[in-house]
Copies of this chain bind each other. A is one copy, B any other.
């Protein structure tokens, strides 16, 4: 199977998500999506990861009620569930 190790440009990812390329850059800077840098500093994204984000996340996670408590967290799972890494200092 083609895992899709092809690389996509920021503009392509932005078109897939219907967002501004700048937003994709912010996602990469925040660690929400993996990125590969060219020697010149431009970013490339793995198609497999992008497609996983596109159609593989709206099924078994944050369904509707208990997916992501935005304020009334049980305080027992500090787990990174929604925010894996980064400190969002951008």
Contact = CB atoms under 8 A, between A and B. Distances in A.
Interface string A31-73: 1111111111100100000000110011001111100101000
Total copies of this chain within the assembly: 2
Given A9-B18, A18-B6, A62 B86 contact: yes
Contacts of A7: 17-18
Give the dominant DSSP class at A's interface: loop
Give the interface size class of chain A. Answer: 35 or more
Interface of A: 6-9, 17-19, 23, 27-41, 44, 53-54, 57-58, 61-65, 68, 70, 84-87, 90
5 contacts: A7-B17, A29-B64, A36-B57, A36-B58, A63-B85
